[in-house]
Chains A and B, each alone.
Chain A
Amino acid sequence: MRFLKMDMRAATVAAALTASFGLAAAPADAKVEGDTIILGAAMSLTGKYSTNGIDTQNGYELAVDMINKNGGVKVGGKSYKFKVAYYDDESTPARGAQLAERLINQDGVKYMLGPYSSGLTKAIAPVTEKYKIPMIEAEGASRSLFTQGYRYMFAVLSTSEQYLASSVALAAELAEASGKKASDVKVAMAFENDPFSLDVRAGVVEDAKKHGMNIVIDDKLPRDLADMTSTLTKVKALKPDLLVISGHAKGAVTAGRQISEMKLDVPMIAMTHCESAKITENFGAGPMEGILCPTQWSETLSYKDDLFGTAGEYDALFKKTYPSYKTVPYQAAQASAALQVWKDAFERANSFDTEALRDAIAATDMETFYGRIKFAPEGNNIAKPMVLRQIQGGEYLVVAPTKWASSKVQHPRQPKY
């Protein structure tokens, strides 16, 4: 009986293998079919990342549509259209890596778009590297993605260590404007002890050191964070000029509530996840007034390009195309920008050769509605700054970097507790 079972299993495996070889044999070379360039992407269409995964897919699709409608991609004097082949990775990294293999090996895809989230990107990048397939990703921000020496992966978004570093730069700018030295600024930090928040912390520490600032508090927050009283009491005692907090939505919820309860009197507070924690809805616009929140992109920025126009025009087009959205997530905007980079690279390389394309992508330097895109040798975008918005009267207004900002920063913050 036992042997019989084993045989059955062997037979199943053999059948599956035959079937997959059969499948693999069918589309021999699918990278360019007729006048269509096929890009591949594993996308989290189901599972825990599905909301953001679908945002990303919509961003990709909107850009594909717009590029195809506006003359397509010109290679060798001929106009080509983009098409993206998707597979659902179910929000699991292992599945993502399998699907990347399948896209490249079986479907013959030679040009990849990134999946959603750092975790999935981390799982897929080794596959695209192995086959020397260029990938432009838009949703993996973790610093650790860019320390592996990957040659074929490029990211249009700002990396996670930049999330709050811009608040340090802003604090330095404001100190100097008021006749003080940047090195006089006292910084208090409270970061959760997890990879993302520690990335954010590393960026803050680096920039604070660069300006010679004094870090007076450096608290790590526990994973099951519910109370920050002791940290905030320390903040009250040491009176820093800048308080930076990052600990996902729970960090923002806890900080938002206790900042309000303890009537914290710090001139500048910056934290991540303000919107996912709904701090203005939960704790009122008055107490949250003046808190700075970073974002990759905002529709009020004065960035623009020839395809989508301004950031505001992109916002309007996206809402028109997908009426279910009330606000446009930055995940969609950066996904669209990834396709603009592909188009630009194809046209500059004027070739379908992956090596030529890789070099063309590496040499990218373009303005888009999403911001400027120029890659470091490690593959991350170094030209687009992280944007800081400030809560003013319950609205999130872009206040930094000053060059692109639509509103003036309120400093010191004037909360109404």
Chain B
Amino acid sequence: MLDNISILFQAPIFAVDLLIQGLLIGGIFVLAAYGLALVWGVMNVKNLAQGELVILGGYLAYQATLWGIHPIVALPVAFVLMFCFGWVIYLVIIKRVVDRDMFTSLLATFGLSLLIQQSLNLVFGPEVRIAEAGFGTLILGDLAIPVIRIVSLGLAAVLAVGIILFMRNSRMGQAIRATAQDPRAARVLGINTDRVYAFTYALNAAICGSAGVLVAMIWNIQPYYGLVHSIRSFIIVTAAGLGNLPGVIIAGFGLGVWENYAGFVFGAEFAIAAVVALLVGVLMVRLFQLYRVRQVVR
């Protein structure tokens, strides 16, 4: 472990390399986490199927490559298809658990995640799949940066900006924000909150699906790979807090960088362990903050 740290100091170029790679993948984490923050914040549903929605989007990209379509082209298609899928899932499942307590929504979305996993396994089989973009690598001195990572960060940014503008300026965006603040008041003012919920969940599915297309182009997908993506989303949202978009962005990029450094220093096996350890750390810091606040109040 110490050897690995000393490499970073002796050859800082590798530290820079890890930093850049981490920032590039962070954008994808931000997408899925933002979707979760949206659903959590607006509907108070903790969506455990978040990672499965990501993987589902990945399989759409994979299927597109089988048909000879470039996965980048599949991105908008996946966005639309996943939006529809999210709407249907809302009508069939989520609608019935929105007003229930936390455990009902956890159980329902956990069941949904199992359902998606097994269906993917039946349709595509258990092998790992990829969607190859074939963009090559950008060489900057000693740094080798896969172009697909840069492209996907750009696409993630475009998507994020689009969603922010939508939330800020459109009628539906305003309705979503109003519902998040106070659903009852929103209903009183004539907002169809049921439709807002459906739209929110569908939007989340669409964002996750797009993130999944990027995941299939950068890493690989397998029916059971959703869990790590769910965990990452929960960590980012927990660390950033609900409704804190700049926080989600910073936490997402931070997580990408942290994962890469942890993998380098502790070994790849412990990269996810390090991510979860970070969550514990964040929760403890939060706890101490709350404790301090309580003291002041008293």
Contacts and interface: CB of A to CB of B under 8 A. Distances in A.
A221 B268 contact: yes
A320 to B, nearest CB: 30
Contacts of B17: 233, 236
Given A226-B220, A250-B220, A261-B137, A233 B264 contact: yes
A385 B107 CA distance: 52
Contact of B264 (A218, A221, A230, A417): A230
A73 interface: no
A229 B220 contact: no
A257 B268 contact: no
B272 A237 contact: no
A107 to B, nearest CB: 34
A221 B132 CA distance: 22
A254 B127 CA distance: 13
A224 B260 CA distance: 16
Interface in B253-289: 260-264, 267-269, 271-272
B188 interface: no
B21 interface: yes
B91 interface: no
A234 B130 contact: no
B269 A233 contact: no
Contacts of B189: none
Given A221-B268, A224-B227, A283-B132, A234 B7 contact: yes
Interface in B197-233: 215, 219-222, 224-225, 227-228
A417 B220 contact: no
Contacts, number: 97
Given A250-B128, A261-B137, A263-B144, A222 B222 contact: no
Contacts of A249: 127-128
Given A250-B222, A261-B137, A231 B268 contact: yes
Contact of B14 (A224, A236, A254): A236
B137 A417 contact: yes
B57 to A, nearest CB: 15
Given A230-B18, A262-B137, A253 B264 contact: no
A193 B4 contact: no
A46 to B, nearest CB: 16
B140 interface: no
B146 interface: yes
B213 to A, nearest CB: 15
A229 B137 contact: no
Nearest to B147: A261
A355 interface: no
Contacts of B137: 260-263, 417
Contact of B224 (A224, A236, A257, A277): A224
A229 B263 contact: yes
A254 B4 CA distance: 22
A261 B146 contact: yes
Given A234-B4, A249-B127, A263-B144, A229 B260 contact: yes
Given A253-B220, A254-B220, A222 B130 contact: no
Interface in B158-181: none
Given A224-B227, A261-B137, A233 B18 contact: yes
A190 interface: yes
A173 interface: no
A222 B18 contact: no
B296 interface: no
A227 B264 CA distance: 12
13 contacts: A193-B269, A220-B269, A226-B220, A229-B21, A229-B260, A230-B271, A233-B14, A233-B21, A234-B14, A250-B128, A262-B146, A263-B137, A263-B139
Interface of B: 4, 7, 11, 14, 17-18, 21, 25, 127-128, 130, 132, 136-137, 139, 144, 146, 148, 215, 219-222, 224-225, 227-228, 260-264, 267-269, 271-272
Interface of A: 190, 193, 218-222, 224-231, 233-234, 236-238, 249-250, 253-254, 257, 260-263, 276-277, 282-283, 417
Given A190-B268, A233-B260, A249-B127, 12 more contacts: A221-B269, A224-B222, A226-B228, A227-B268, A233-B17, A233-B18, A250-B222, A261-B148, A262-B137, A262-B146, A263-B137, A282-B132
